[in-house]
Amino acid sequence: MTRVRAVDLRLVGLPLVRPFRTSFGQSTEKACILARVETDETWGWGECVADVEPDFSGEFNDGAWLVIREFLAPALLRANDVRAEDLPSMFAFVRGNPMAKATVIDAVLDAQLRAGGTSLASYLGADRDRVACGVSVGITPSTEALLDQVSTYLLDGYRRVKLKIAPALDVDRVRAVREANPEIALSVDANAAYSAGDVEVFRALDAFDLLMIEQPLHHEDLIEHANLQRGLRTAICLDESIRSAADARTAIALGACRTVNIKQGRVGGLLEARAVHDVCADAGVPVWCGGMLETGIGRATNLALAAMPNFTLPGDTSPSARYFRDDLTEPFEMASDGTMAVPTGPGIGVEPDVDRLDACTRRREVLTA
Ligand code: SMG
Ligand code: MG
């Protein structure tokens, strides 16, 4: 029996150690919403994966803030007895907005698990205590800069390298990285920058023995992804297209992908992420844990998820130092074998440093019943 007494919302901003460029834009800082819910017994944290602009998805920070403040938090604060498992249906009156919902659902789940002394990893049925890390390399100013970054990351021990690509910044760059590193696990991510007419690009990429080609086409084009997949040896992985377990079921049935990037925030939180995992596992489709440049709060969340049984490919779960000079939590570190420990404490198992959190808070609002 838990009542939520307060939802404490913050918008935080942390500089990135290096700019991160994708086919849709460049970020030099991480700006996101953090929610801390206070219950009768304890508290819990949720990190929103939306960004400043509605570019990766239709959601964005100011919009997610409003959705939480005006709709989700009031419903939560009105309820007398709250369990995280009830929230997806409690929030069904809000159409869409999975990133806003995930922030609140994950925070309540964290509080519930803290109260019960259970770690998120064991709640989710994780079957290992370390996960393999990959790195997502943003689009660089030149091929030389890309080769330099890739060699540095390989020396760090990463188990898989993913290159962001965009039209005209694709085949030559991937060839250069593959020729310099014939043996590595290598993939590319287009963030939906291509269309069906670009099939020649994908035929060329098909020759580089890639682990996967992530989200080549528009997020709504499942049929086009299926057509493209039929003509390729390389597996297509869907990211932006998958917003729920129902989407995953549809994409798999259509043959639109052979692997799925699970980002819990993109699908409406940890409970739906577990459902996506199960749909894929039942269909024999391997999954891996995506990243949204999370602070330590979201990173702890991702590590627990990535330890579930069907997460069989290295994820975009890099250590704190790949993103931030000072993370909000104790920094997550990667061992030289390219693995990272899954937190074992109750809930997500980490807590932000109060001074660092205050120093990077841009806006705060505490909502109460
Ligand atoms: O967290 O290391 C990370 C970033 C991983 O490439 C990454 N994320 O489409 O998969 C993706 C992108 C989306 C982030 S855009 C800011
Ligand atoms: Mg992606």
DSSP letters spanning 187-220? EEE-TT-B-GGGHHHHHHHGGG--S-EE--B-TT
- Cα of 292 to ligand 1 centre, how many Å? 5
The CA distance from 35 to 364, in Å, is: 10
Full-model pTM:
0.98
Nearest atom within ligand 1 for CA of residue 20: 16
Q: Does residue 162 carry a catalytic annotation?
A: no
- Cα of 367 to ligand 1 centre, how many Å? 31
Given the residues 30, 101, 162, 263, the one annotated as active site: 263
State whether the beta carbon of 239 lies less than 6 angstroms from ligand 1: yes
Residue identified by tokens 């420990």 is: 341
Please, which residues have CB within 8 angstroms of residue 186's CB and are 6 or more apart in sequence?
160, 161, 162, 163, 174, 177, 178, 208, 209, 210, 211
* Residue 336 burial by Cβ neighbours in a 10 Å radius (0-12, 13-18, 19+): exposed
- Which segments of the chain are extended strands (E)? 4-22, 25-39, 43-47, 130-132, 134-137, 160-164, 186-189, 213-214, 236-238, 259-262, 287-289, 339-341, 361-368
Q: Which of 16, 22, 28 to mutate to test the pocket of ligand 1 (most atoms within 8 A of CB)?
A: 22
The CA distance from 59 to 97, in Å, is: 7
For the beta carbon of residue 359, count every other beta carbon within 10 angstroms: 12
- Cα of 138 to ligand 2 centre, how many Å? 11
- Cα of 22 to ligand 1 centre, how many Å? 8
The HSE-up count of residue 199 (CA atoms within 13 Å, CB side) is 11
DSSP-derived pairing of the beta strands 213-214 and 236-238: parallel
Tokens of 162: 């993913």
Nearest atom within ligand 1 for CA of residue 291: 1
- Cα of 1 to ligand 1 centre, how many Å? 37
Nearest atom within ligand 1 for CA of residue 261: 10
- Cα of 82 to ligand 2 centre, how many Å? 33
Identify the nearest ligand to the CA of 158 by its number.
1
- Residue 230: what pLDDT? 98
State whether the beta carbon of 318 lies less than 6 angstroms from ligand 1: yes
- Residue 1: what pLDDT? 61
Four-residue CA torsion sign, 216, 219, 224, 230 = positive
Orientation angle between helical segments 270-282 and 98-116, nearest 10 degrees: 100
The CA distance from 165 to 140, in Å, is: 10
- Residue 167: what pLDDT? 98
- Residue 2: what pLDDT? 85
Q: In which residue ranges of the chain is pLDDT below 50?
A: none
**12, β-bridge pairs:** 32, 361
Going by alpha carbons, the residue nearest to atom 13 of ligand 1 is 292
The CA distance from 61 to 30, in Å, is: 11
Q: Which of 28, 238, 266, 293 to mutate to test the pocket of ligand 1 (most atoms within 8 A of CB)?
A: 293
State whether the beta carbon of 47 lies less than 6 angstroms from ligand 1: no
Q: Does residue 263 carry a catalytic annotation?
A: yes
